[in-house]
Amino acid sequence: MVLYHGTDETHLAGILAEGLQPRAVGRAGNWGEHMESVDGFVYLTPSLDWRYAVHAASDRHAARTDRHALPPREVLIEVNVGAERLHPDEDHLRTLLMYTGRYSRDEAGAAVDADVMKRDRDRWRESLELSGSAAHLGPIRPKQVRRVLIIERALVPTLTELIFAWPYISASGKYDGPHGECCRQVHRWLWGDVREVSSVPFRIADDGSVHAHVGLPPLPSGVRHLVILRHGEIVNERAA
């Protein structure tokens, strides 16, 4: 199954050499205390890679002491993984618990751990469809990495504007509505699957209603850098 991961360029050399590694025990995640990821998993998505990459690069830059340094570039990773290693994202399970009305955010966070994710492993497809992400148990080897897309800084303002144009996607089912449609279209546009997109849902309210659309024009040459791999070895590298 082909899925994607978003990160920043500070991790790229390690990914090419060692693959995608689960977050180490005790290392802080990108999403704060209320959305802490579970140790031992790598998080994958069908099309939210660019959102995660923008957040990762922004957090990395904010943590730097040299305020004059350029922010790291966003990096999207395409991988091929077996479904037998996929589990539901813990945030998907936590959000479903909150929707019962019997759990606060903190209580839901404490209730879902790696054991619960493994118990509910068969819900990984539901997690992808409703929340746009799933968790891969254990590392993803270098030979499973198919392509890498490096986003040049000129594109970041456009992506940031798109991110903040709607509420956060969650297990409410928003991912399979206009929010998810926007993410999928931007994902395809960035990867070059489509040259341009005439109409993308843009201003989206909490109830899912769409108040504006935006077009995505053909990308100018040189704003992306594509790396193609086979069996863990780079076979092509070019500006896109």
pTM here? 0.90
Helices (H), the chain: 12-18, 49-62, 90-99, 105-111, 114-119, 124-131, 156-163, 178-191
**Higher-pLDDT residue of 184, 60:** 184
Give the C-alpha separation, 130 to 92, whole Å.
8
**Higher-pLDDT residue of 153, 33:** 153
pLDDT at 144 over 80: yes
Give the C-alpha separation, 39 to 29, whole Å.
10
Give the model's pLDDT for residue 169.
Answer: 47
Q: What is the DSSP letter of 205?
A: -
Tokens, residue 218: 């053909």
Contact (Cβ atoms closer than 8 angstroms) between residue 134 and residue 63: no
pLDDT at 203 over 80: no
Give the model's pLDDT for residue 11.
Answer: 95
SS3 104: coil
Average pLDDT score, the chain: 87
Q: Which residues lie below 8 Å from residue 158, measured CB to CB, with a gap of 6+?
A: none
Give the C-alpha separation, 189 to 60, whole Å.
25
pLDDT at 139 over 90: yes
| Lowest-confidence region among 63-77, 117-131, 136-150, 210-224 | 63-77
Query: Hey, what amino acid is at 2?
Result: V
